[in-house]
Homo-oligomer: A and B are copies of this chain.
């Protein structure tokens, strides 16, 4: 793989940025990678573990002379960061982001992009429940999707270079419209996360079932929910606040269906339950056939991952 950018600046040094750094290094995609994080602690950790070729003490310093600037902070912080670096952006440079919501990021970042600088929003569909500068690894994006959300009239070279970068980091790239992105992700990620958080919260609330029992007897199902519900609170608060409409729409539909199934349980309508559970099986098969998960049984305790 050959170099795509001479200088890349990563703003925010958490899971997504650190995985990008290791993936760019693995494939030699960038000449120099600078990095900046808000807290001195994160910058110090980054320096200690060799995350970034150069860790800077201000965002402005990190972006100076950069050909690609990647905003890797929570969705709600994108606008302020864009404003901060705006004046330091090099003409001809490309700004991108990795935020999990796209319409809101575009609305808050675009006003701060100067003439002559390109803005190509992106979202890698890859992550873990861990966060911070030490959580990244080079393989995170291998064979996962990265969605580019260019505006109409975006510079095609800027888009194609960003595509080459993500492909070089192992991802499969597609382009999508911002609103459609936000709806698809509300279904496949945002609503499921809120549901998992809620179910884990309910378990925590139930005084008759003590915490230790919930933990001790956490079977498949709940245990998976707890992993999802261990995700970063700041990131997810921002996702829900900024993808409000699509998330609420999906949750509304979810509640309707849940009521219908609760009624089937209450009235003892086994046929409705059986039919519903049969239909959902087909989706699982599709995901496995699409190579987005394996059919290996989950031993329910990460045994295979040890």
> Given A144-B300, A209-B184, A240-B273, are A290 and B215 neighbors across the interface (CB < 8 Å)?
yes
Are B241's CB and A268's CB within 8 A? yes
> Which chain A residues in 93-150 approach chain B with CB under 8 Å?
125-130, 135, 139-140, 143-145, 147
Interface-lining segment among A64-72, A82-90, A192-200: A192-200
Q: In the complex, are the beta carbons of B283 and A203 less than 8 A apart?
A: yes
B274 x A237 contact (CB < 8 A): yes
Cα–Cα, bound, A209→B298 (Å): 28
Q: For residue A81, which residues in chain B have a CB less than 8 angstroms away from its CB?
A: none
Q: For A274, what are the chain B residues with a Cβ–Cβ distance below 8 Å?
A: 233-234, 237
Q: Which residues on the B side are within 8 Å of A265 (C-beta)?
A: 194, 240-241, 244, 247-248
The closest CB in chain B to the CB of A254 belongs to B202
A305: interface (CB < 8 Å): yes
Query: Taking the complex as formed, is A301 at the interface, i.e. its CB lies under 8 A from any CB of chain B?
Result: yes
User: Beta-carbon contacts of A188-224 to B below 8 Å, as 1s and 0s?
Assistant: 1111111111111111111011011111111111111
Q: Is the interface of A mostly helix, strand, loop or mixed?
A: helix
Q: A287: CB under 8 A from chain B? A: yes
Per the bound structure, the CA–CA distance linking A282 and B203 in Å amounts to 12
* Inter-chain contacts of A187 with B (CB < 8 A): 202-203, 206, 209, 214, 222
Bound-state CA distance A130–B208 (Å) is 32
Contact A297 B130 (CB under 8 A): yes
Contact of A194 among B144, B219, B261 (CB under 8 A): B261
Cβ contacts under 8 Å, A221 to chain B: 188-190, 192-193, 196, 228
Contacts of A188 in B (CB 8 A): 203, 214, 217-219, 221-223
Considering the complex of A and B, which 8 residue pairs feature the smallest CB-CB distances, nearest first?
Answer: A128-B297, A294-B302, A233-B277, A192-B221, A230-B284, A304-B305, A229-B280, A189-B219
